[in-house]
Amino acid sequence: MADFNELPAQVWPRNAQRQEDGEVTIGGVPLSEIAEEYGTPVMVFDEDDFRSRCRDMAEAFGAPERVHYASKAFLSKRIARWVNEEGLAMDVASLGELRIALAADFPAERITVHGNNKSANFLRACVEAQVGHVVIDSAQELELLDLIAAKAQRVQPVLIRVTPGVDAHTHEFIATSHEDQKFGISLATGEAFAAAQACLRAENLTLVGLHCHVGSQVFDGEGFKLAAERIMALYSQIHNELGYALKEIDLGGGYGIPYTAHESPLDIKAVSKDLLAAVAHTADELGIEPPTVLVEPGRALVGASAVTVYEVGVIKDVTTGDSATPQRRYVAVDGGMSDNIRPALYGAEYDARVINRYTDGEEIPSRVVGSHCESGDILIENISLPNDVAAGDFLATAATGAYSYSMSSRYNAAFRPAVVAVRAGMIKPMLRRETLDDLLSLEVD
Ligand code: PLP
């Protein structure tokens, strides 16, 4: 059995290390020092880890600007600046995300905008900011955006979000015509082709490419490949029937990452090779230069860059019948479903370690739970924890960078945690912990 004190490299930030005294540091900073200074729960981002994943992804796809960071995974002004400094582009999926990116001086021309139901207000803000791409999600939106761009006397570059009929959701891969979902314009019914025609007719829109996204936390590279092939069939149809060689193909995000020690990462280099080959193959058949391939990963860039540190509180052993041996130990921490809804929402699994010292107790079946008034408030359903874990220890869950803070809530009037970045022995606060004043500031007496 692996030593519980070891940090599984595939789920912990690249610069996390257990020191000789048992303390875990990230970027040279002891996590318990951060916990004491900022309180718990606290999220800690390894800046160099994030930047190195941006570079790896840029290398896999040939250039940084081809990689659009999906900011829904986690967004703050500081991370927007890192993305900008690394030369990546950025996806936003709401007016709030757009405003945060712009507040961080992220260049609007490198912003791509998503959403299945963008409001007129949101679209106006996109046009006014002169964002690089709006991804059109419906025929209705196409008409609305054309009108808005006309009023602003602008021509808005757009992509069409195509539903390629590939459902590649978590751990299951069903290559059927999966049309029954809210996103995108159907390829199979010909509506995507009709949308391309409408875009080419629209005076205030420029069609620069096609977009698709097959799902999130996907490990089967075949799903991405199949979607790329289907999109390229539409690309050919547009080329052959409308005489238009689109410049860009955006193949979305969704690259799966490991969350526990027994999972392995997706081979992004192999995926990128397949995707680039699928696009080059069609271009070759058409005798044209291949369009630029864009991708928009969120989780694969930021997921493993952060950990969440909690303080252990109540420990409860559950025994049944006359057995003296506990069946399960419940280890309660001072956060829970408000700072990480993923386990409750879709059964997501996590790795956790005690980070303030070595543990040497016998490992026993345990469940890490939060402090909310909800029995489903579980952070880790099944984990073997050493039986010497005690109240006052700091326990950290790894790979919480994506879709934890961004999906956080104020359930039970919880304060959202503080978020800090670490690098070269320094702590840089990113977001302060919410306070009672933040909560009360919404009250209208
Ligand atoms: N692009 C689109 C359109 C998405 O909907 C999502 C996530 O849902 C992403 C990119 C990012 O996905 P991931 O964080 O899994 O890479």
- Which of the four CATH numbers 3.40.640.10, 3.40.50.300, 3.65.10.10, 2.40.37.10 does domain 16-46+304-440 have? 2.40.37.10
CA of 156 to the centre of ligand 1 (A): 23
Confidence of residue 381 (pLDDT cuts 50, 70, 90): very high
C-beta of 67 in contact with ligand 1 (< 6 A): no
**What would the pLDDT profile of 108-153 be if each residue is shown by its tens digit?**
999 999 999 999 999 999 999 999 999 999 999 999 999 999 999 9
Q: Which pLDDT score is estimated for 10?
A: 95
Tokens 């408000």, residue? Answer: 338
Give the number of other Cβ atoms within 10 Å of residue 369's Cβ: 24
What number does CATH give the domain 114-296? 3.20.20.10
Query: Mind spelling out the 3-state secondary structure of 140-158?
Result: HHHHHHHHHHHHCCCCEEE
262-279: average pLDDT: 93
201-228: average pLDDT: 93
Q: Which pLDDT score is estimated for 277?
A: 95
* Dihedral sign of CA atoms 296, 302, 303, 308 in order: negative
Residue % of the chain over a pLDDT of 70: 97
Q: Which pLDDT score is estimated for 303?
A: 98
Angle CA(257)–CA(224)–CA(217) in degrees, nearest 5?
A: 25
Choice from 136, 220, 296 to test ligand 1 binding pocket (greatest atom count within 8 A of CB): 296
CA-closest residue to ligand 1 atom 8: 216
Provide the whole-model pTM.
0.96
Spell out the domain ranges in the chain: 16-46+304-440, 114-296
CA of 312 to the centre of ligand 1 (A): 33
CA of 346 to the centre of ligand 1 (A): 16
Q: Does residue 42 have a pLDDT over 50?
A: yes
56-75: average pLDDT: 98
323-339: average pLDDT: 91
181 vs 433, residue with greater confidence: 433
Q: Which pLDDT score is estimated for 245?
A: 95
How far is residue 111's CA from residue 134's CA, in Å, rounded to a whole number?
A: 9
C-beta of 114 in contact with ligand 1 (< 6 A): yes
C-beta of 296 in contact with ligand 1 (< 6 A): yes
385-412: average pLDDT: 98
Q: Does residue 173 have a pLDDT over 50?
A: no
Question: Residue 135 forms beta bridges with which residues?
Answer: 159
Confidence of residue 90 (pLDDT cuts 50, 70, 90): very high
**What would the pLDDT profile of 353-370 be if each residue is shown by its tens digit?**
999 999 999 999 999 999
165 vs 185, residue with greater confidence: 185
Single-letter code of the amino acid located at 380: I
Q: Does residue 337 have a pLDDT over 80?
A: yes
Choice from 162, 211, 216 to test ligand 1 binding pocket (greatest atom count within 8 A of CB): 216
Provide the mean pLDDT of the chain.
Answer: 94
Residue 241, token pair as written in the block = 């029937």
Q: Which pLDDT score is estimated for 176?
A: 34
Which amino acids are annotated catalytic? 373
C-beta of 70 in contact with ligand 1 (< 6 A): yes
